[in-house]
Amino acid sequence: MNATPYPHLLSPLQVGHLTLKNRTLMGSMHVGLEEQVGPLTNLGAYFRRRAEGGVGLIVTGGFAPNAEGWVKPLAGRLSNRWEAYKHRAVTDPVHEADGRILLQILHAGRYGYHPLCVSASDIKSPISMFRPRALSDAGVERTIRDFATCAQMAKVAGYDGVEIMGSEGYLIHQFVAARTNHRTDRWGGTFEQRIRFPLAIVRAVREAAGSDFVILYRLSLLDLVENGSTWDEVVHLAKELEKAGVSMINTGIGWHEARVPTIATSVPRAAFTWVTAKLRPHVSVPLVTSNRINEPVTAERVLAEGHADMVSMARPFLADPDWVNKSATGREDEIDTCIGCNQACLDHVFENKHASCLVNPYACHEAEMVLTPAATPKKVAVVGAGPAGLAASTTLAERGHHVTLFEASDEVGGQFNLAKRIPGKEEFHETLRYFRRKLEVTGVDVKLNTRATADTLAGFDHVLLATGVHARRVRFPGSERANVLMYADVIRDPSQVGKRVAVIGAGGIGFDVAELLVHSGGQETFESFAKTWGIDTTAESRGGLVEPVDAPPARDVVICQRTRGRVGARLGKTTGWIHRASVQKAGVGFLDDVAYDRVDDAGLHVRVSGQPRVLDVDTIVVCAGQEPNRDLEESLKAAGLAVTRIGGADEASELDAKRAINQATRVALAL
Ligand code: FAD
Ligand code: NAP
Ligand code: SF4
């Protein structure tokens, strides 16, 4: 009996000589474990977990074929037998767990953050400070040989094949696009000449690695930059790649320098699978689709509607290595869903730290963070059911402790119940669903509508104080007036806010509040998203770009900060630009170097760089950060209880859910 709701997702797929057990591909993602000195054991442990969790095909993060191709100095590369030997610590554990794995060959070209970087032409990229050297004709030939050697070494290392990174604006893409290829020799000029480089690489790789080796090619279907490829050019290249010997084509969307969000949480789910579907009639090799697919039901729909043969997800497997097995056994409500925040994965990589995951702090720390049964099960009270309290109580219960979770309000989730109301942050609902289910599965005794006190907590062996934060109030003449509102009240009921608004504070919450207030309501669709960001929904125009159309904002909003400098400068590394661009599209103004003087009937009186100014607003929303809520701590200690603070109750400065969940999980693993 085949009762699975995911018959397409869970059916096998033949790719070259490999029979894959299902249609899930763990997309390539650099996590920082690639540069381990000696055998890549940590990377092996990380991928083994994903193979055990049922992923059909894994692709590693990018490895350079030579030093010029490094993403950064001393980044992972594979060019000789000694380096190949290190990779056995990756391929062996994956194969032992019945997984299949490809090595991604990534030559960064002008995205290389080092002085050795090269490209088709010496045109600097807007996202690297290093101007690339244009490869000579001999240099191009040598690079092609290096790709072939890398693939050969990948075979020696035990990989089932390679993915050739031909999209996202990396070297191969730099040759393909007229934007970055101004050469006049046989590698530049017409489109036929510009695609000579990728085709030569594919042929050389096939020749070097033989027929029993998968070649996956990541092809950009939508460049989202000026002077990118046209649709006809994309189709032409796809057909030529097939002739050159690729086994399967993966979908790339957007150059890294594109100013269109492609994977952030505000991008609608499966927003770009229609582009893969558009290519399908033109090639006969299997196609992989990608971007913002995080739930089995979405993946199944994409496959059932014929958009692709396989679905690529990278971050969802960071968030939950057991995603496939849970989907296959009717436990999809237990999936720890990737919320597309980038906070612990891509942001970390761009900050030169190891990646992890906001919702799953074990990710990339598999060797170090191990859940073991408690030596002596204790009676533990956790006070506060925000992200910290939820992560701690479920981890403690998993370890065999007897856990009671006290929450003052009528629902679990703490500030996530505010975050989920922000347009573009709807994915936060999934984290709440995950934790609600995990509380049930792990048997935590949840007491809602119960404000814990020292009396309530008497008799517990240990108390974890996860009471979160108090929003910081601001004090100046008039700040007590009825039109000066705190962010939590505004998020719960935006209807009380007037048409002209000043937001005090330009942190994540200030921006979120601005986003909420300019939004005119209604669900974001792919069409409205595409209009805002200027995406051509036919993909026919060069680069897939059209003129953006800004929706009229519901309110006039200005965001203020006291610090001099760029407003919102401390927002996430890879998503801050989206938050800034998104509210600016809605006409939100930014003021820095602001001193707040008073509020009266004329509005908010400020000094901007010392110059007095009246902001003619009818509502002021205070988003001025938070302070720890430790109201209970003294009384608990006085009662002789063992207390450990976690999350915002411990430290409110620069607190976010990533830190709250990570700290809480680690405390719970150690108790
Ligand atoms: P909280 O979430 O504040 O939870 C504390 C809980 O304790 C509350 O439920 C409270 O009712 C309960 N409580 C307090 N006292 C008692 C008591 N005596 N007895 C019982 N219960 C009690 N973070 C990110 O990382 N990424 C984001 O994109 C993001 N967006 C955000 C957007 C908004 C609009 C907001 C408001 C926050 C956002 N955050 C984001 C911040 C994130 O939500 C917080 O950092 C996180 O919730 C802190 O977790 P916590 O468990 O320490 O505290
Ligand atoms: P925050 O990032 O600390 O920002 C607080 C803002 O208030 C700052 O702009 C600060 O700037 C201003 N401020 C501080 N004290 C003030 C005072 N006394 N008077 C007036 N202004 C004051 O805090 P937040 O925005 O409340 O966010 C809380 C946490 O949630 C953050 O750590 C954030 O990472 C997380 N979060 C993340 C996201 C995300 O998308 N990743 C979204 C929301 C929240 P000046 O001092 O310059 O005025
Ligand atoms: Fe997804 Fe955020 Fe985890 Fe990255 S950190 S994998 S985006 S949930």
Indicate which ligand has the atom closest to the C-alpha of 412: 1
Decide: 468 in ligand 2 pocket, CB within 6 A.
no
**Two structure tokens written together for 26:** 């763990």
Is the shortest distance between the CB of 263 and ligand 3 below 6 Å?
no
Q: Is 345 in the pocket of ligand 3 (CB under 6 A)?
A: yes
| CB-ligand 1 contact for 105 (6 Å cutoff) | no
Ligand number, closest to the Cα atom of 417: 1
How far apart CA 283 and CA 243 sit, in angstroms, is: 10
Tell me, using a 6 A CB cutoff, whether residue 573 lines ligand 2: no
What value does the CA radius of gyration of the chain take, rounded to a whole number of Å? Answer: 26
Atom of ligand 1 nearest to the CA of 451: 19
The whole-angstrom separation of Cα 78 and Cα 212 is 20
Measure Cα distances from 109 to 181, 283, 437 in Å.
12, 28, 46
- 614 CB-side CA count, 13 A: 7
**Does residue 118's CB lie within 6 angstroms of at least one atom of ligand 3?**
no
* Most informative mutation of 407, 439, 455, 467 for ligand 1 (most atoms within 8 A of CB): 467
Question: What confidence score (pLDDT) does residue 3 get?
Answer: 83
- Cα dihedral 104, 105, 111, 116, rounded to 10, equals 140
Ligand closest to Cα of 347 equals 3
Looking at residue 384, its pLDDT comes to 98
Residue ranges of E strands in 169-256: 214-222, 248-253
Distance 344 CA to ligand 1 centre (A): 18
- Nearest ligand atom owner, CA of 620: 2
Residue 341 CB less than 6 A away from ligand 3? yes
**How many A from CA of 336 to the centre of ligand 3?**
10
Nearest atom in ligand 3 to the alpha carbon of residue 339 is 8
- For the CA of 509, the nearest atom of ligand 2: 25
Q: How far apart are CA 194 and CA 415, in angstroms?
A: 51
Distance 505 CA to ligand 2 centre (A): 6
Residue 426 pLDDT: 93
Total-model pTM: 0.95
Tell me what pLDDT residue 2 has. 54
Q: Whose CA is nearest to atom 3 of ligand 3?
A: 357
Contacts of 118 (CB under 8 A, 6+ apart): 68, 109, 110, 112, 132, 133, 134, 135, 139, 143, 171
Mutate to test the pocket of ligand 3, among 338, 362, 425 (most ligand atoms within 8 A of CB): 338
For the chain, the domains span 13-350, 379-470+627-670, 473-519+554-624
Nearest protein CA to atom 3 of ligand 2, as residue? 625
Q: Is 208 in the pocket of ligand 3 (CB under 6 A)?
A: no
Q: What is the CATH number of domain 379-470+627-670?
A: 3.40.50.720
CB 409 near ligand 1, within 6 Å: yes
Does the CB atom of residue 136 touch ligand 2 within 6 A?
Answer: no
Fold of 473-519+554-624: FAD/NAD(P)-binding domain (3.50.50)
Q: Which helix (H) or strand (E) holds 445?
A: strand 445-447
- Nearest protein Cα to ligand 2, atom 2: 507
Which numbered ligand comes closest to the C-alpha of 341?
A: 3
pLDDT of residue 551: 85
The alpha carbon of 469 and the centre of ligand 1 are apart by a number of angstroms equal to: 7
Residue type present at position 664: A
Name 393's Cβ contacts closer than 8 Å, sequence gap at least 6: 380, 382, 385, 403, 405, 439, 442, 444, 464, 668
Residue closest by Cα to atom 1 of ligand 3: 338
Nearest CA to ligand 1 atom 9: 414
Give the whole-angstrom CA distance, residue 179 versus residue 395: 51
Verify whether ligand 2 is closer than 6 Å to residue 506 (CB atom).
yes
Residue with the smallest CA separation from ligand 1 atom 5 is 468
- Can you tell me which atom of ligand 1 is nearest the CA of 415? 2
Nearest ligand by distance to the CA of 604: 2
Q: Which residues are catalytic, by number?
A: 170
Contacts of 431 (CB under 8 A, 6+ apart): 336, 337, 339, 359, 387, 416
Which of 655, 656, 661 is the pocket-test mutation for ligand 1 (most atoms within 8 Å of CB)?
656
CB–CB of 226/546 below 8 Å? no
Any atom of ligand 1 within 6 Å of the Cβ of 341: yes
Cβ of 315 below 6 Å from ligand 3? yes
Give the pLDDT means over successive 10-residue stretches in the chain (671 positions): 86 97 97 92 96 98 97 93 96 98 98 96 94 98 98 98 98 97 97 98 98 98 96 98 98 95 91 97 98 96 98 98 98 97 94 95 93 96 98 98 98 98 95 98 98 95 98 96 98 96 97 94 84 93 93 95 95 91 95 98 97 97 97 95 97 93 98 95
358 lines ligand 3 (CB under 6 A): yes
In angstroms, what is the span from residue 317 Cα to ligand 3's centroid?
Answer: 9
Residue 1 has a pLDDT of 44
Atom of ligand 2 nearest to the CA of 425: 40
Domain spanning 13-350: which CATH class is it, in words?
A: alpha beta
Q: Is there an atom of ligand 2 within 6 Å of 268 CB?
A: no
Distance 488 CA to ligand 1 centre (A): 11
Q: Given the CA of residue 471, which atom of ligand 2 is nearest to it?
A: 26
Spatial separation of the C-alpha atoms in residues 357 and 338, rounded to whole Å: 8
